[in-house]
Structure 1
Amino acid sequence: MRQIYIWKHIGKCLMLGVLLTVTLAADVPPHGIAGANQAVYQYRSHAPWLEAGFSRTPAGWQNRAVHYRHKLMLNVQKTETKPEPKKKTVKTVRVLATGYTAGYESTGKKPNHPQYGITYSGVKVRRDKDTVSTIAADLKVFPIGTILYIPGYGYGVVADKGSAIKGKKIDLYFDTTKQVYKEWGKKEVEVQIVRKGNGKLTEAMLKELGKAMEVSKEIPEDLWNKAI
């Protein structure tokens, strides 16, 4: 009897040690106290089971202690929350934005010219408020294929360049001169660099991005990677 009594008390001390070890080993500080409270509650609720286990055979308490320790560790791990993914930072640049058309007043080309309405990248000029429009920029600053979000204009993809477009300046495409003056004029704006281009833009890429934006109303990052 004396031996069984001693084993019971040794077992209780070991179980308390297990509880303290599990609590201190928790690697998420905000959940430390909650994990300890949960472990204590579980110990109390399983106390009759432990008493019964210890009172039966001295040799059986070790297996029960190990089993219960693993159970506590699994329960504490369940209380841990996954860290929130870091939000992608968007780079902004302040630029001087003007407007242009495909007409003679902007490009020196008339409608009968074979290159009328064709940008430096090879794609046709495009103005679409709901998806993506073509814009011109200094290609040393914004390479072909760069996508910008311009407040008041929408998304623009760099498809063209101009002799007067140097540094942090961009030229936004409009269908008519009237739209240039009425809707834009000349403004300084803070644009968001959604994606920096690699010097390539095709009609297929532009069409694919346009279709995707009709659905999501934003530039789908994975689709753009696929298009490139």
Structure 2
Amino acid sequence: MRIVIANWKMNLLSKDIEAFCAACVSGYKPKAGVEAGIAAPYIYLKDVKAKLGPCGVKLYAQNAHFEAKGAFTGEISMAQLKDIGCDGVLLGHSERRHIFGETNANLVKKVKAAREHGLMPVLCIGETLEERDGGKMFDVLREQLAVLKETGAGPLVVAYEPVWAIGTGRVATVEQIREVHAFVAEELARNGAAGTPIQYGGSVTPDNFAEIIQVPHVAGGLVGGAALVPEKFLKLIEQAQA
């Protein structure tokens, strides 16, 4: 299974989303073995679901709290996401880890909560440039994947995004991607999650994705900037379907 997810982050307004969804409805052609999804800002999730539901594009949130309800001002629960029709949720994105202090301990609870509410958890992992250059890359990734020892088995997608390649225009080489995805696949098997799809993310565009998607253990992409343009997003899906 290949999965291409557009992570809109904190971008786009209603008029932009209207045009994006219209382009997807007219241009998206589903194909067996490849899923497409959009991770939209909270306030637009319901609109995106209404506009894209009929064409089969999946709906993802960009984060969520692990408690089903409670006094957590400003948070959104997995139950609420499920209630409005979400299919999955991104968890542990590097921006959540490094800017907002997301911890592995919280991610254990979030993965479990997502599964309990029927949402597909997309666990994001990745090293900084300092960690890579310091020879700590595999240790960092191993620690991030170790949360699966506590979550137990269940539905899961992993997205490997080298932090130094997110939004920088710098892309990991094919050999670097091959090396890391092979390592991640081995770690997943060691943690009881063999066969889990592993997406690649980090300045993915239609210019480099056709080559990246052919790398062993690369099962799609988690895409930022390029996925803000519907024509580019549709092209990425076509490349995954090829």
TM over 0.5: no
